[in-house]
Structure 1
Amino acid sequence: MIDNLEYNTEREHLIIPEYGRHLQKMINYAKSRETKEERNKLAKSIISVMGNLQPHLRDVPDFQHKLWDQLFIMSDFELDADSPYPKPSREELSAGPEPLKYPQNHPKYRFYGNNIKTMIDVACTWDKGEMKEALIYTIANHMKKCYLNWNKDSVEDTVIFDHLFELSNGKINLKNSEEDLSDSSSLMRTKSKYSNKGGKKSKKKYSNNRKRY
Structure 2
Amino acid sequence: MRKNYNFTRRKLYLPEYGRHIHQMVDSLLDIEDRQERTRQAKAVIAVMGNLNPTLRDTEDFKHKLWDHLFIMSDFKLDVDSPYQQPSRQDLTLRPQKLSYPQTRITFKHYGKYAQRFVRLIAEEHGDSRSIGELANVARFMRTKSFEYNNEHPNNDSIARDIRLMADGELDMDLSFIADMRSDYRHSMPQRQQRRGKQQRNNGRKSHGQQGHSQKGMKQHRNNSHK
Aligned to 2:164: 166
Could you say what secondary structure the match of 1:111 adopts? coil
Q: Which amino acid aligns with 1:180?
A: I
Question: Which of 172, 177, 191 is residue 175 of structure 1 equivalent to?
Answer: 172
1:205 aligns with 2:202: no
Displacement after TM superposition at 1:15 (Å): 1.0
1:63 aligns with 2:61: yes
What percentage of residue pairs aligned between the two structures are identical?
33
Assess, with a 3 A threshold, how the Cα gap between structure 1 residues 133 and 175 changes in structure 2: closer, same or farther: closer
Contact 2:159/2:173 (CA < 8 Å) preserved in 1? no
Paired residue total: 206
Between the aligned partners of 1:82 and 1:135, the Cα distance in structure 2 is: 66
Displacement after TM superposition at 1:176 (Å): 4.3
For residues 104-133 of structure 1, what are the alpha-carbon distances to aligned partners after superposition, in whole Å with 9 as ceiling and x for unaligned? 332222222334345556767889575x66
Which ranges in structure 1 are unaligned for 5 or more consecutive residues? none
Contact 2:155/2:174 (CA < 8 Å) preserved in 1? no
For residues 175-204 of structure 1, what are the alpha-carbon distances to aligned partners after superposition, in whole Å with 9 as ceiling and x for unaligned? 2486326455x4144556454847535347
Normalised by the length of structure 1, the TM-score is: 0.73
Between the aligned partners of 2:76 and 2:16, the Cα distance in structure 1 is: 20
Could you say what secondary structure the match of 2:29 adopts? helix
For residues 128-207 of structure 1, the aligned pairs below 5 Å read: 130=129, 135-169=133-167, 173-176=170-173, 179-180=176-177, 182=180, 186-189=183-186, 193=195, 195=199, 197=202, 200-201=209-210, 202-203=213-214, 205=217, 207=221
Normalised by the length of structure 2, the TM-score is: 0.70
1:101 aligns with 2:113: no
Contact 2:156/2:174 (CA < 8 Å) preserved in 1? no
Which ranges in structure 2 are unaligned for 5 or more consecutive residues? none
